[in-house]
Chains A and B, each alone.
Chain A
Amino acid sequence: MKYALFLGCTIPARSRQYELSARKVAQKLGIELVDIAEFVCCGFPVKASDMKSAMVLGAYNIALAEKQGLDLCALCSSCASQLTEVVHHLAHDEKAKVEVNEVLAKAGLQYDKGTGVRHFARVLYEEVGKDEIKKHFTKSLEGLKIANHYGCHYLKPSEIYNNFDQVEDPHSLDEMVALTGATVVDYANKKRCCGGPVLAVDEKTSLAIAKEKLDDIREAGANAINLICPFCSVMYDSNQKGIETAFSATYNIPVLYLTQLLGLAMGFDRKELGLNMNVVKTKDALAKYAGGD
């Protein structure tokens, strides 16, 4: 199993623990991840200002992978959604493809058929499979109560994702987390957005959206949140203290990436999974399960 690893903007600069743990988990499972240094932004942040430029940016990245005959694997849900959408769109719009190729030619590239695009969590769920993942576990996470946050673009818009999971009743993350022995806790508004995209427009509204979910997760008695998108992590992990201050609340709920959680069950230690880089301290909640410093 071999993919071009698409890191996007946020992960290599702000979420190195996600990249680190994903590479560890991939290596353990025999997924070869190829780095392409020429990759640029996926185009998602440009969509609001200019859909055409966003599509060209996406197509540029896809064409780079296509040139090497590789499918793309993204760690960020927005990158996965943007790149999948470009492939979907260009497969159905020959005129747009011609226009895109006119621009790409200036950069010496050509978009032909595009490539497969997968979120890393989807690769784990669909391509590797639960039985294979479980074979590599050496430690049970029994006793840990996890609230899964699916976020939005891992599953939506559903028309581009071939229904690999259900938008209104998602279960792929729940199933993978349950493999570790941890208990998956359900909570109100599980499918709701983190509020991240509104942060640059109106901080108060954005934080209020994130706060609602933190309230629901606390209410459900979870020890930690599990998620798969760096921007969702910014909202719940990096901004948790700010939300506590703004709304006079206390949460102290660690926020883990799926790859850190699976990595723990695979026997990696704290440092190998970058658990020391998470903002909300993970040491107490994970004391039973994570060795190392």
Chain B
Amino acid sequence: MADIDLTKADPNFRKELLAQPGGEKISACFTCKTCMASCPVSAVNSKFSPYRIIRLALFGLKKEVLESDFVWFCSSCYACQERCPQGVCITDFMTLLKNLAIKAGHAPAGIKAQRNLIKGQGRIYAIDEFDNKKRNKIDLPSLPTTCEVVKLLFPES
């Protein structure tokens, strides 16, 4: 794992994070690594470790955190958040970082595509007439094949 280069630190990043939902308690982290020991992703991929992301964020390494792939490796399973002895809402923090990364223009293509699908059709998997035929065949009710109202539900776009 690469060394941490503190000369790139942005002290305002830490303050910015501490002021937002999910970031409030990150400074309580005392690096016990319970999160890493509980993490299903760390168990199979050593590139990802939650405590390291918290450390990088606390050091103010904004670019390294928001531009890296590994924030996106978090599966949002809450195993770490349930077990953190310091009450850090680690999963919520990862969600906050994902939101900030997207605002800064760094998002995996799949994540953007999911959002666009939902914004366009109200669901990830659109229902078409063929689906409804298959549903009706086993006595399941038809579902709408279009959704206009959903566009109104995205406040920031």
Contact = CB atoms under 8 A, between A and B. Distances in A.
Given A41-B122, A53-B156, A168-B82, A13 B127 contact: yes
Contact of A195 (B75, B78, B108, B149): B75
A45 B118 contact: yes
A1 interface: no
Contacts of B114: 45-46, 49, 200
A226 B144 CA distance: 31
Interface in B32-49: 40-41, 43-45, 48
A131 interface: no
Give the one of B75, B98, B127, B135 with max A CB within 10 A. Answer: B75
Nearest to A13: B125
Interface residues of A, number: 54
Contacts of A49: 98-99, 102, 107, 111-112, 114-115
A52 B98 contact: no
B134 interface: yes
Interface in A67-124: 99, 103-104, 106-107
Nearest to B97: A48
B105 interface: no
Nearest to A40: B122
Contacts of A37: 143-144
A50 B100 CA distance: 9
A291 B78 CA distance: 40
Contacts of A25: none
A234 to B, nearest CB: 11
Interface in A195-233: 195-198, 200-202, 205, 208-209, 212
B147 interface: yes
A106 B150 CA distance: 11
A52 B156 contact: yes
Contacts of B124: 9-10, 41, 45
Contacts of A202: 45, 69, 72-73
A40 B150 contact: yes
Nearest to A45: B114
Contacts of B73: 198, 201-202, 205
Give the one of B91, B138, B156 with max A CB within 10 A. Answer: B138
B41 A205 contact: yes
Contacts of B96: 51
A167 B82 contact: yes
A12 B41 CA distance: 29
A157 B153 contact: no
A200 B44 contact: no
A37 B145 CA distance: 10
Interface string A155-198: 01110000000011000000000000000000000011101111
7 closest cross-chain pairs (CB), A and B: A200-B110, A193-B77, A13-B125, A156-B78, A40-B122, A208-B44, A9-B124
Interface of B: 21, 40-41, 43-45, 48, 69, 72-79, 81-82, 91, 95-96, 98-99, 102, 107-108, 110-112, 114-115, 118, 122-127, 131, 134-135, 138-141, 143-144, 147, 149-150, 152-157
Interface of A: 7, 9-10, 12-14, 16, 19-20, 23, 35, 37-38, 40-41, 45-53, 56-57, 60, 99, 103-104, 106-107, 152-153, 156-158, 167-168, 191-193, 195-198, 200-202, 205, 208-209, 212, 274
12 contacts: A40-B147, A47-B76, A48-B76, A48-B98, A48-B99, A49-B98, A49-B107, A60-B153, A157-B91, A192-B77, A193-B77, A274-B138
